Amino acid sequence: MNNHKLRCYVWIPTAIAAASIAWGASAALADTSPATAAPAQSEPQAMPVDTKDTPLPPAIVLPGPPNPPPPDVPATPITADLAAIIALRHQPGITAAAGQLEAAAGYTKQSRAGLLPSVVASAGYTESKIVKAAGTSTSISSLLASAASSAKGPDATDFIELRQLLFDFGHTSNLAAQASALETASSFDLTSAQANTVLTVKQDFYNLAQTQRLVGVNEDNYRAQYQHLAEARARQVAGIGLVSDVVQAQTAVSDAALQLNIARNNDQIARVTLALAMGLDPRTPIQAADSDEAAPNTSDLNALVADALRNRPEVRAASASVKAAQAAVSAARTSILPSISGVVGYAGKDTEFPPNGGSVAGGLVLSVDPFDSGLTAGKIKQARGELLTAQANLTSAEQSVSSDVAQAYLNTLLADQRVSTANDEVTNALEAVHLAEGRFRAGIAIFLEVTDAQAALVSARTNLVNARSSMDQARAALSHAIGPQAGR
């Protein structure tokens, strides 16, 4: 008997609600709007059909810089590749690496100068006159008398010498080879700086894309919670809802507004971070296009590692540093050995300028320093130590590159699986929300079931956004780990 009464209590008010819920929905929208009241509707409805016009909490927007962005920064959404290209033009770190390469090239040129001919030229003209001294100062008179006794009239001289190193046991050549290898290492350091900048920009780009998507997720959640609040209020007014449902719905709306503001703030911070990585004013407004990183070939890990060991600039720079250290050892060993240079010179001296006559001389110059108090021995020991360090750095670079590829490879495979799982999770969560809403409207479920289903949907959509971002970042990391390749 009691069960029969209970069934009547559940279903009879539900039937009555079909006639009265329209007025309640309209009144609920009027009471719960955070900004403006909802307009009156000619035909009452149980709940809003479209929530796109639901007023959202006001957003805090970071003001732009006083000066316009560079011409190559478009106002439209950009892709990750375009962001990387812009960064390569504006990032100060790349400019600094280019400056170091130019300095290394200058040092190479200086080192090679010792292998080329050198020319020294000088010319002069002097004329002395006897000047009688005035006064009685003994010291001044003595000085002038000394100058007068040495004065012989006009004197013009010129001198030209051509010197060419002939043989020094390869010492200068080794110094030039060392400088050239260091220049090569600097060129790979520049390439490494460019690759690292591209990776950083892409990671920050996909982080911005992630925050933009999360803003959309939280906006949809706010609208959905606002809709649930309107329906809970309508059911309360119709006499078939509970006050606790309204309170719970209002709490959910407030929490959704807070989460939306947090997502918006994270989005603004992500824009600042990306602009800084691109070498732009951090206040530059940047929009990330909704796109994904191209999937690299992950069919053969060992082939990827082999490619990385050939292409990664860190390995090539370390290899060049080993060559420079080997040349430094050879140069240190020959620094004490003799050197022979050929010299051809011309000297002229006359009373007129330029001199009318002169003499030409040529010969060989032998330079030797048989005893240097251990200076050469110290240079050799230092160079050997630096060679050991360079060789160890090369081994470390190769191991680090192999580790980078292996980790990025695993992260890419896992990220792809996470995206697939997250898509299924969103599909199931959407169905759960539809079921919970239908059960609640039919009066066979409590409002808590609706809010729980909505929270699960938000969590599922958030997981999908995070999974996509992790996938894009993992793919970018794997491309960076493999290193630059032709056609890529």
Q: What is the CATH number of the domain that holds 422?
A: 1.20.1600.10
Cβ atoms within 10 Å, residue 257: 18
312 HSE (CA, 13 A, CB side): 27
Cβ atoms within 10 Å, residue 151: 14
Quote the number of domains for the chain: 1
Q: Which residues pair with 210 in a beta bridge?
A: none
How far is it, in rounded angstroms, from Cα 187 to Cα 482?
18
pTM for this model (two decimals): 0.77
The residue range of the domain holding 227 is: 78-113+170-336+376-482
Contacts of residue 224, Cβ cutoff 8 Å, sequence gap at least 6: 51, 256, 433, 454, 457
Q: Is 296 a domain residue?
A: yes
Is residue 280 within 8 A of residue 69, CB to CB? The reply is: yes
Is residue 325 within 8 A of residue 379, CB to CB? The reply is: no
Q: Is 413 a domain residue?
A: yes
pLDDT reported for residue 270 = 96
How deeply is 305 buried, as exposed, middle or buried, from its count of CB atoms within 10 A (0-12, 13-18, 19+)?
Answer: buried
* DSSP code, position 37: P
pLDDT reported for residue 39 = 34
* DSSP code, position 288: B
Q: Is 488 a domain residue?
A: no
Mean pLDDT of successive 10-residue stretches along the chain, which has 488 residues: 34 32 35 35 34 76 88 93 96 94 93 88 66 49 48 64 87 92 94 95 97 96 93 88 90 94 95 96 93 89 95 95 95 89 78 67 82 87 95 96 96 95 96 93 88 94 96 96 71
The residue written with tokens 């200086």 in the block is: 110
- List of E strands, 147-288: 155-167
Helix (H/G/I), strand (E/B), else coil: 46: coil
* DSSP code, position 135: S
What does each C-alpha distance from 138 to 131, 145, 147, 150 come to in angstroms?
15, 10, 14, 19
pLDDT reported for residue 487 = 43
What does each C-alpha distance from 358 to 154, 343, 363 come to in angstroms?
16, 17, 17
Q: Which residues pair with 159 in a beta bridge?
A: 122, 347
- Spell out the alpha helix ranges (H) of 58-170: 80-90, 92-113, 138-150
Token pair listed for 88: 């390569």
How far is it, in rounded angstroms, from Cα 252 to Cα 229?
8
Q: Is 61 a domain residue?
A: no
pLDDT reported for residue 47 = 38
Q: Is 164 a domain residue?
A: no
pLDDT reported for residue 44 = 29
Is residue 94 within 8 A of residue 194, CB to CB? The reply is: yes
How far is it, in rounded angstroms, from Cα 316 to Cα 323?
11
Strand 358-367 relative to strand 339-350: parallel, antiparallel, unpaired?
Answer: antiparallel
Is residue 336 within 8 A of residue 369, CB to CB? The reply is: yes
Token pair listed for 325: 């250290």
pLDDT reported for residue 157 = 72
The residue written with tokens 């060049």 in the block is: 320
Helix (H/G/I), strand (E/B), else coil: 239: coil
Q: Is 162 a domain residue?
A: no
The residue written with tokens 């108090």 in the block is: 373
Nearest to 272 by CA among 59, 57, 85, 64: 64
197, containing H or E segment = helix 171-237
365 phi/psi in degrees, rounded to 5: -120, 125
Q: Is 68 a domain residue?
A: no
The residue written with tokens 């920064």 in the block is: 73
Q: Is 263 a domain residue?
A: yes
How far is it, in rounded angstroms, from Cα 90 to Cα 277?
9
How far is it, in rounded angstroms, from Cα 472 to Cα 320?
33
Cβ atoms within 10 Å, residue 238: 22
pLDDT reported for residue 352 = 63
Radius of gyration of the chain (CA): 41
Size (the chain), residues: 488
